[in-house]
Amino acid sequence: MTQTEEVMQLYYEYVMPTYTKVPLVMVKGKGIKAYDIEGKEFLDFFPGWAVSGLGHCHPKVVKAIKEQVGKMIHVPNNYYNELQGKLAKKIIENSFDGKVFFCNSGAEAVEGAIKLARKVGYPSGKYEIITMEDSFHGRTLAAITATAQPKYQEGFAPLPGGFVYAKFNDLESVRSKITDKTAAIMLEPIQGEGGINVASEAFIAGLKKICGENKILLIFDEVQTGIARTGKMFCYQYYDVIPDIMTLAKSLGGGFPIGAMVAKREIADVLQPGTHASTFGGSPLACAAALAVFEAIEEGNLVEKAVRRGRYLHNRLSLLKKDFPFVKIVRGKGLMQAVELEIEGKQIVDKCVEKGLLINCTQKKVLRIMPPLVVKNADIDTAVAIIQEAMKGVTVEG
Ligand SMILES: Cc1ncc(COP(=O)(O)O)c(C=O)c1O
């Protein structure tokens, strides 16, 4: 048995089989490189499903965690911890005037947003939340119900009520779903799991108008798009809009679990003591990691780099269209790019893995390419060359 097989055996016997897995046991990472237990090196263009936004084991994050871990790991939220206040201030300084609730994951941040929107709407009998087809908001019961994709909901009925679905980038569809019970509209500015579908400026401008006219909250789920990924610190900043609520997680902690729900000041105090909580939320260790992430982004000028490197990546990927007729379109913002294919992408992803490149495929036909913010043009050249080689070997049916 190889070392990989030994680890896989333990999973077969003792770990619930909830994930479709690639047969790799990852043991080490540094920057854009990841290494498996057999010593094979990979160029990681999808580090941690957008969690390791700064690459693996960024020195600033490692240092901050090491320093904090010996001082205090956890402080319950009935006491104060100085790093939570500092992190909240940092998030607000980089977004909009408001307050932050800390939790541990994206789904939890989304749950918080749903609860806040309902509590705000409660006195006027508003509780419905409009979400978008092909969205993804996480795996708790409320989050899968907000996620308007039947495949995530099947077998889990009864689902909580109060969710209504509209078509993404279709204002008429949204308008037709509004009732006197609508409390909020929630969307990802770029649908990640849904296939890197970018919200149009007209759509967001229209949503802003609809929300203003009907006193409806606008919630941006930036769990995947946040923290410089798209070439702005938060993706909403591409649009002429400020959301009432924004959810964050994934790369916020540079690999360490932390989620956040940010709300405008005028609604933030609706969640009073006893209405919402998270035991682990905003621990000093998680906050130390997240503060280091902001420091690394500022010092490394990584927002601006995400724009430049993203443009380079986009242009390089677009060249694939010339050679491969099954490449339909390349789209995305910053370092969140997709190559949509006419064929299934799994065989290309598998071939890339063989050749030492990690990428992802979503919605069966969309290659999702999200390298860390520290990616260099030379890494992009190498990765695109591998994708090109992988594409040469595909079999096109029909
Ligand atoms: C936009 C969005 N929201 C929420 C989530 C759920 O995050 P988590 O898996 O941390 O609960 C995800 C995860 O992919 C996501 O992409």
CA of 222 to the centre of ligand 1 (A): 9
Q: Is the CB of residue 193 below 6 angstroms from any atom belonging to ligand 1?
A: yes
Q: Is the CB of residue 128 below 6 angstroms from any atom belonging to ligand 1?
A: no
Which residue's CA lies nearest to atom 13 of ligand 1?
A: 138
Best mutation site among 223, 247, 258 for ligand 1 pocket (most ligand atoms within 8 Å of CB): 223
Structure tokens at 371: 């390298």
Task: Give, as one character, the DSSP assignment of residue 157.
Answer: P
- 173 and 267 together in one domain: yes
ω into residue 257 within 30 of 0, thus cis? Answer: no
Look up the domain containing 330 and give its range: 3-57+301-392
Q: What whole-number distance in Å separates Cα of residue 285 and Cα of residue 84?
A: 10
Domain boundary among 299, 332, 349: 299
Least confident of 220-234, 251-265, 357-371, 383-397: 383-397
User: In the prediction, which pLDDT does 33 show?
Assistant: 98
Q: Which CATH number is 377's domain given?
A: 3.90.1150.10
Task: Read off the pLDDT of residues 100-109 as tens digits, 9 standing for 90 and up.
Answer: 999 999 999 9
DSSP H or E stretch at residue 187 = strand 182-187
For the chain, the domain total comes to: 2
* 385: in domain: yes
Residues serving a catalytic function are 136, 221, 250
CA of 257 to the centre of ligand 1 (A): 12
368-382 mean pLDDT: 98
* 205: in domain: yes
Q: What whole-number distance in Å separates Cα of residue 168 and Cα of residue 149?
A: 12
Q: Which atom of ligand 1 is nearest to the CA of 191?
A: 1
Q: Which atom of ligand 1 is nearest to the CA of 250?
A: 10
* 256: in domain: yes
User: In the prediction, which pLDDT does 246 show?
Assistant: 99
* 66: in domain: no
- 119 and 130 together in one domain: yes
Q: What whole-number distance in Å separates Cα of residue 281 and Cα of residue 88?
A: 12
How does residue 395 score in pLDDT terms, banded at 50, 70 and 90?
A: confident
Best mutation site among 250, 256, 261, 336 for ligand 1 pocket (most ligand atoms within 8 Å of CB): 250
- 244 and 293 together in one domain: yes
| HSE-up (13 A, CA, CB side) for residue 38 | 13
Domain boundary among 263, 279, 299: 299
- What percentage of residues in the chain have a pLDDT greater than 90? 98
Sign of dihedral through CA atoms 26, 390, 332, 164? Answer: negative
* 398: in domain: no
- 212 and 79 together in one domain: yes
User: In the prediction, which pLDDT does 398 show?
Assistant: 53
- 217 and 306 together in one domain: no
* 62: in domain: no
- 316 and 294 together in one domain: no
CA of 136 to the centre of ligand 1 (A): 7
Chain position carrying tokens 């920057």: 31
Sign of dihedral through CA atoms 51, 53, 56, 59? Answer: negative
Which residue's CA lies nearest to atom 4 of ligand 1?
A: 137
CA of 3 to the centre of ligand 1 (A): 31
- 275 and 317 together in one domain: no
- 100 and 158 together in one domain: yes
Mean pLDDT of all residues belonging to the chain: 97
Best mutation site among 105, 186, 224 for ligand 1 pocket (most ligand atoms within 8 Å of CB): 224
Please tell me whether residue 270 adopts helix, strand or coil conformation: coil
The dihedrals phi and psi of 161, each to the nearest 5 degrees, come to -80, 180
Q: What whole-number distance in Å separates Cα of residue 398 and Cα of residue 388?
A: 21
Q: What whole-number distance in Å separates Cα of residue 220 and Cα of residue 243?
A: 6
Q: What whole-number distance in Å separates Cα of residue 368 and Cα of residue 331?
A: 10
Task: Read off the pLDDT of residues 128-178 as tens digits, 9 standing for 90 and up.
Answer: 999 999 999 999 999 999 999 999 999 999 999 999 999 999 999 999 999
Task: Read off the pLDDT of residues 52-72 as tens digits, 9 standing for 90 and up.
Answer: 999 999 999 999 999 999 999
- 17 and 152 together in one domain: no
Q: What whole-number distance in Å separates Cα of residue 334 and Cα of residue 337?
A: 7
b/e for 234-247, b at 16 or more Cβ within 10 A? Answer: bbbbbbebbbbbbb
Structure tokens at 273: 């003591």
Q: Is the CB of residue 224 below 6 angstroms from any atom belonging to ligand 1?
A: yes
- 218 and 309 together in one domain: no
- 154 and 179 together in one domain: yes
Query: Rounded to the nearest 10 degrees, how much is the dihedral formed by the CA atoms of 218, 219, 224, 227?
Result: 80
- 19 and 104 together in one domain: no
Q: How many CB atoms lie within 10 A of CB 311?
A: 14
Q: What is the pTM of this model?
A: 0.98
Please tell me whether residue 24 adopts helix, strand or coil conformation: coil
* 76: in domain: yes
Domain boundary among 299, 334, 358: 299
Q: Is the CB of residue 197 below 6 angstroms from any atom belonging to ligand 1?
A: no
CA of 49 to the centre of ligand 1 (A): 9
DSSP H or E stretch at residue 248 = strand 245-248
- What percentage of residues in the chain have a pLDDT greater than 70? 99
User: In the prediction, which pLDDT does 337 show?
Assistant: 98
* 275: in domain: yes
Q: What whole-number distance in Å separates Cα of residue 76 and Cα of residue 55?
A: 30
Q: What whole-number distance in Å separates Cα of residue 202 and Cα of residue 208?
A: 10
Q: Which atom of ligand 1 is nearest to the CA of 49?
A: 14
Chain position carrying tokens 């410089």: 228
333-358 mean pLDDT: 98
CA of 107 to the centre of ligand 1 (A): 6
Structure tokens at 356: 């030492």
* pLDDT over 90 (residue 351): yes
User: In the prediction, which pLDDT does 397 show?
Assistant: 66
How does residue 75 score in pLDDT terms, banded at 50, 70 and 90?
A: very high
